Each structure stands twice: as C-alpha cells, then as structure tokens.
Chain A
Amino acid sequence: MKLSKKVVLLGHFGVGKTSLFRRFIDNAFSEEYKVTLGVQIKKKVVQLPDGRELSMIIWDTEGHSNSVEDTRKSYLLGSDAFIYVFDLTREDTYKYLNQDLEYLKNTYNKVITKTIGNKLDLVSERVITKQLKELDIPFDCLTSAKTNKNVQKFFLDLAEEIAK
C-alpha cells in the first residue's frame, strides 16, 4: 500500500506559506504576493532514506489574521503534521505563537507540529535567532522560500519523521 501523509501549512496571511509550498513542490518562487483563499492541495512523492516512497499531501491553507483557531476545522481533519509558518520580519505573526501551539497541542495532540520562521533572506540570522530566544518563541527551522534556504531539507526531514 502506498504511504500517504497529510501535512497542513498554517499561519498568518502573507508569511510565505504558498511560497514554501511552491518552492517545495515545483521549486518555483514569485515575488508577487497572491492571497490564498480556502485551500490548495498538492501532492509530492518523496523518497525516504529507507527506500520507501511517501506521498506528502500538502494543504496550503488561507492565512489567518489573528489566531490559528480561525482556520477552518475541516481543513485540519486527518492531518499527520502541521507546519506553523511565521514571518521573521513581522512580530505580529509570531507574537502569539505559543498560544496557537498550545491550542493545536490540546486539540490535535497526535499531530506532529513544526514551526518555521520564513523570509530569512530579509533578516540577519544571528540577530533574529537571538531575538526569538529572548521572546521565548520556539522554532524548528528558519527558511527562505525565496533563496530556497533550508526548505527542501525541512520537508524531507519532516517526511522522514511522519513516515515512522
């Protein structure tokens, strides 16, 4: 049986969820901001280190304005992983990250949740890392969809983790 896992991209609007989605699926990037309404779903088959293939069904959801609780519940049904994306240049996109993570943990306790700080190309990695630590903002990875920094590795590592 083919291995298939559902991964949902979450986060405020304009943080770069669609850019990460396009970068991972099609290895493409556009400077133009286009709002996502509802959800776009695409599949990417990745080769796992043990030789198996995994179909990652990625749901790129519409960004919220306040809290992740605003995301439509039906989009989260049957998820294997959440990727919470925030914009490293906009504090309002990660200011309440801990509350959002708490909500996801309480509501979807079996789903693996990862956090990504995106738009690394616009900030100094050293400075932002220090700032996030000071603000007690957890993050699994800092990425740039524009430069492709850490994007492929992040998704492949996640694939390995959810395939276990």
Chain B
Amino acid sequence: MQSQSSQFNQKIQLVTVSLDGIIKETDHHIFNWEIGSSIYDIHPFFEILKSILQDPDIKEFSFPCIHFENNGFENICDVSIKIDLGEIVIVFFEYTKKYKELNETAQQRNESILIAKELELRNKYLIEKEAFKNDFIANINHEIRTPLTSIMGFIEVLEKTKLSFDQEELTRIIKRDSQHLHALIDDMVDISKIESGTLNIVEERFIFKDLVEGLKEAYSIIAEEKNIHFETHVDPNIQEYIIGDRMRVYQILNNLLTNAFKFTEEGKISLSITKNYQRTNKLSINFRIEDTGMGILEEHLDHIFDRFSRFIGNKQISGTGLGLAIVKNLVDKLNGEIKVISQPEKGTTFNVKLPFKFEISKPAPERKKKKYSLPDTKKKFRILLVEDEETTQYLVMKILISHGSFYVDLAINGEEAIKCIERRNYDLVLMDLKMSNIDGYQATQMIRNNYGDEVISGVPIIGFTSHTQESERDKCLRSGMDDFISKPFKREDLIYRIIKQIAKKAAN
C-alpha cells in the first residue's frame, strides 16, 4: 500500500494488532506508536475493537473523521478496521487539512443558522415582553381607575355640600390632583396603544369651531388664573364641518396648550389656526401654538419628542415627559407633521400641519345632544346596582339617592343580581362587568335570554367598566347591554345615561 497519496496530501498508516490488542507491526507515517504496546492504552477510540471482536458477523468496519491527539497536535483520520487471519489490521487515512477546511464551511453555515435562531428568539422575547407590558398597563389602568372613580365622584358630591373656605380650597386641590392623575393614566394607556400599534384613527364629521371653542373655554380659565393673555385665531375660510379624528386632534392641541401653560409664567399664549390648502375634498390645516415661556435649549430640541424627556430642573412643574411623545406619535399617525422653534427665555412655537377632509355637498346640520326626561316626575324609579366594589357602591348610591328620583337596590355579584331581578321589577340595571362567579356580561345574557317576561328580559342595562378600550364597549353592546359608562364617570353623565335609557324604554 502506498504510504503517501497526492490526493488531499493524504498520509496512510498501517497497523497490525493481535486479538488481545498488542501492536505487532506498524509504520510511523502519522503516529509514532511502538510495537509491543497495547492499542487500548493509546486512545479510547480503540475500545471499539472489543465490540467488533465480540460480534462474529463483523469482519470489516470503517470510521470516518476520528480526532486523535498526537503529541499536542490533532490528526483527523478515517479509520478502516479489518479482522483477518487472527489479527486486526487498522488503516489510518490522514485527512486533517481536508477536514479542517470542511470544518470552516460547516462552522460558517451553522453559525449563521444559530445567529438567525438567536435573533428570532430575541425578537420573540421582545414581543412577549411588549405584550406583557401592555397587559400590565391595561390592568394597572383598571386598578387605578376604580379608586379614582370614587375619589372624583365623591369630590363632586362633596362640592355640592356646604363647605367652609378652607374645605373648599382643599377640595379644589384634591380635584386638581385627581384630574392630573386621570390625565396621567390616559397618557400611559395612549403611549402603550401607540407602541403596540392598537391605537385606531377614526374619521368622523364634526364642527371645527366647537373643537376650538372647547379649548378656548378651558384654557381661558387657566389663563385668567395665571394672569396670562390667551388668544385664539381661526381662519374663517376653514369649513364649518370637517372630517377627521376629532378626539385625537383635540388631544394634540390640548397637550400642546397644557405644555405652553405649564412653562409660561407671564406674557402671552396664542393658538392660531389657518388653512394651508384645499384640493377636491382634502384640506390641510396649520395649528400654531406660541408662548412666551421659558423656551427650550437648542441641544434639547432634537429630543423633546422622546418619551420621558424632561429638560427642566424645576420639580414644581409636574409631568411624566409623555405628553409630547404622544403628540408626535399622534401627528405621525394622522399623517401630519410637527415642527418646533424655541429660544430660551423667549418662548416656544409649535407648528402642526394636519390633513382633513370635508364634504363638498352642503352638510346636514349636526344633531345636538338630545335632552331626555324621566317619564313620570312624581314617581321614583327603581334601579338595581350590581357592583362588588364598596366605594363605588357607596358613590353611585349617594349620587342616585341625592338626585331624588331613584330607589337603589344593591347586588354584589351577577348571581345575586339574577335573584333580585326575579324577585322585583326594575326600571334599570347598572351592571359592573368584572365580578366573581357570574360577571356582568354573563349576567346580562342570562337576563336577556332566560326569561319570557319582557319586564325582566327587556330591562335597560348600563355596563360599568374601568376599561376604556372600544373593544370593551362593543363587548358590552354585544352581550345585550343598552349603554356603557367608563370609570371614572361624571355625576351628570351617569344621571343623563340613566334617564335616557328609562325614557327610551318608556317611549317604546
């Protein structure tokens, strides 16, 4: 046999071993093994010979790509073993160079697959983390809104009582801070929706002037309190009715004005609205919010739309640093653009361009919020409040009883609500959604489906929830509820909705 082959620079070594493992004959082309030594002591690979010898059917066997250590170097060989005439013939084909080349290719291939897998895993982890964060925010939102409902509701009740000057002042502070907390929760939910891509933009027709009037009214009070001049200017060429996401536009302007008032101690704040252009039914409007406040340093301007960015040392000015991030995201979502110019100690100007649509044909007049009244002013109406949370029970009872037109019964879960409904006729049910055993949806479905008596199955039901998502509202209506009110609610809103449902039922 040739000991040296040109193919792959291959070396070959031939070793003859006795059946008890002693090397009888060998050359030294690859390994420098001594005749007379035991092959079993040389490398653990040769233990395989014992298995081969035990099996009379095996006469020849090949092992590709075996790694051997040889005086500090590694030799990679294909090994062929043959049992012949009472001895073992082992042939080593040395392919170290070839295998090392193959190794590099395999290394690159496997590494790229592993890196791709790692990225996939990391991405999956980030998605799960994001989902967890959003769930967490949704849940914490629910948990905070429930006590906040009580606080804000009781403040309204408290305001209607006879208070001393000090008490009035304290009530005002509690109210202000509760409103701030409420706004903060809304911001958190919004940023979470924006990040998870679940914030939906709606198109609705609305009276543009009303939107501006709402802002003007709210901020004129603050301007008066702070002794700041506040003015608004609206381009008369802007259509009366326009189509866009009224709520989100309001939120953008509201956040920018809040910011302006927060950072302006004297001088002037103005909101100026002009039409950029209109083509067919499309319209572009520019909103300019200008203040004479503390301004922003140039190096901070690039980061003012980042989340949690606050560039002021004054801790008296509250905020999370989410407001402008929300504004930027909303403007992007509405396909608009926002620019800011500012000079420290002189003031800041935000320019927001937003696209809208308008109806080319003359629009129908907007329906005003319809007024409802109770069908019988001499009668008291019986309401079943289904609520497991003690302070909300107390708050709602206090509001309804003090109104003077209602009796209120209480059930603390869906099961108890069903029992009450079966015992007595109600004019309306206020149904909390999240309860143990039977929840609000299930209880509503049972009321709607399980009774032939129209007085029971047709009772108006208003859902009560701390969730604010539109999906929650749909779920309420789908389960058979007539209306939905989210916590925290205003006393007037609660009363309005109750009267509306009772009046509608009576009219039917």
Contacts and interface: CB of A to CB of B under 8 A. Distances in A.
Contacts of B76: 37-38
Nearest to B58: A77
A53 B464 CA distance: 73
Interface of B: 43-45, 47-48, 50-52, 54, 61-67, 76, 99, 102-103, 106-107, 110-111, 113-114, 117, 121
A6 B48 contact: yes
A121 to B, nearest CB: 14
A40 B103 CA distance: 14
B110 A41 contact: no
Contacts of A38: 64-67, 76, 99
Given A77-B48, A77-B61, A37 B111 contact: no
A43 B44 contact: yes
Contacts of A41: 43-45, 66-67
Contacts of A55: 44, 47
Contacts of A75: 63
Contacts of B107: 34-35
Nearest to A38: B65
Contacts of B62: 74
A124 to B, nearest CB: 11
A92 B113 CA distance: 12
Contacts of B67: 38-41
A117 interface: no
Nearest to B44: A43
A37 B106 contact: yes
Contact of B117 (A39, A43, A77, A90): A90
Nearest to B114: A14
What's the dominant secondary structure at chain B's contact region? helix
Interface in A62-88: 62-63, 72, 74-75, 77-78
Nearest to B47: A57
B44 A42 contact: yes
B103 A37 contact: yes
A33 B47 contact: no
23 contacts: A4-B47, A6-B51, A14-B110, A33-B111, A34-B107, A35-B106, A35-B107, A37-B102, A38-B66, A38-B76, A38-B99, A39-B63, A41-B43, A41-B44, A55-B44, A57-B44, A57-B47, A62-B65, A74-B64, A78-B50, A78-B54, A89-B117, A90-B117
Given A14-B110, A35-B103, A72 B64 contact: yes
A13 B110 CA distance: 7
Contacts of A92: 117
Contacts of A34: 107
Contacts of B65: 37-39, 62
A74 B61 contact: yes
Contact of B99 (A6, A37, A72, A89): A37
Contacts of A72: 63-64
Contacts of B106: 35, 37
B437 to A, nearest CB: 28
Given A38-B65, A39-B63, A72-B63, 9 more contacts: A14-B113, A35-B107, A37-B65, A37-B102, A41-B45, A41-B66, A43-B44, A75-B63, A90-B117
Interface string A27-55: 00000011101111111000000000001
B61 A35 contact: no
A162 to B, nearest CB: 14
B121 A89 contact: yes
Nearest to A89: B121
A78 B49 CA distance: 9
A55 B50 CA distance: 14
A55 B62 CA distance: 24
A14 B111 CA distance: 8
Contacts of A62: 65
A140 B48 CA distance: 27
A118 to B, nearest CB: 14
Interface string A80-121: 000000000110100000000000000000000000000000
A37 B67 CA distance: 9
A68 B76 CA distance: 23
A39 B62 CA distance: 13
A26 B121 CA distance: 30
A14 to B, nearest CB: 5
A74 B107 CA distance: 23
A37 B76 CA distance: 9
A78 to B, nearest CB: 3
Contacts of B51: 6, 77-78
Contacts of B63: 39, 72, 74-75
Contacts of A37: 65, 76, 99, 102-103, 106
Contacts of B117: 89-90, 92
B480 to A, nearest CB: 36
A89 B388 CA distance: 44
